[in-house]
Amino acid sequence: MLHTETPNSEHPDLDLYATAELLDAFIADQQRAVEAVRAATPQLEVAVEAALPRLRAGGRLLYAGAGTSGRLGVLDSVELPPTFSWPRERAVAVLAGGQGAMFEAVEGAEDSTLLGAADITALAPGPNDVLIGIAASGSTPYVLGALAAGRAAGALTIGIANNPGAPVALEAEIGIVLDTGPEIISGSTRLKAGTAQKIALNTLSSSLMVKLHKVYGNLMVDVKATNAKLRRRALVLTVRATGAEEAEAAKVLAQCDQHVKTAVVAIRLGVSVDDARARLAANEGSVRGALG
């Protein structure tokens, strides 16, 4: 039996727990998600190093999954553009059952390898693309079909699963197994299996964004300031990175469409916004490189 489907022997009387005991059991069980991701660090490192040159060459991050796993892939993809100004067309997720499955389960959609292959083929993947297939069981036909189509097109394939020996991990070029074991509610992989997947996806994509110069120090300097909260964040980040007064930082940000990277280089070097943009372009968007 799959680890994720095995009944949990630690809490056979879960339904009898007092509220405080119930909460403690759920929270304590989630800690194993972190342990599972930490154990997969070597595979995550391989994935980052393999994906990086493809993304530098203009490739895309593609995600494929069903149910909770698929929704986590969608979540990772949609958060990259506002957080890192990553082009929206270069972070694309497909979900078994289509967009509607994000909000309502579409029964049976995950059982088709052909549907998974078709959804990925429709994206016309190529050698510079990176396809991440996610499945707690590791045997979801939709995800296996997606990985097969991506591999056939020459894309780098990464398979994330929660069971050792899972086909999703074995049939991808890089397999990442997050062995979270039995769920506290038997078979409910929206729990720590899903948590481990979220941590792994956050770790993988965020590490790539750092390597692609989307971060300066530990500051989110490529944030897309599209609302009042994010404009305020852009101002705070600029002040922190430059030591400038808020008024000066706000003035320069207004000149460069609220782009923190540009404002930081312009203020730190005392150059124009146009010059700052040119310096960034000449250094692959690296603030450290532009600052010399």
- Enzyme catalytic residues: 79, 110
User: Helix/strand/coil (H, E, C) string of 252-273?
Assistant: HHHHCCCCHHHHHHHHHHCCCH
- Contact yes or no for 180/3 (Cβ under 8 A): yes
Q: What angle do CA 257, 261, 265 make, to 5 degrees?
A: 110
Give all strands (DSSP E) within 72-211, no chain letters.
Answer: 91-95, 130-135, 156-161, 174-177
Burial of 13 (C-beta count, 10 Å sphere; 0-12/13-18/19+): exposed
Rounded CA-CA distance 54/114 in Å is 26
Which one, of 68, 69, 87, lies nearest residue 78 by Cα?
87
Q: Two tokens at 142?
A: 């939709």
Rounded CA-CA distance 14/191 in Å is 15
Strands 61-65 and 130-135: parallel
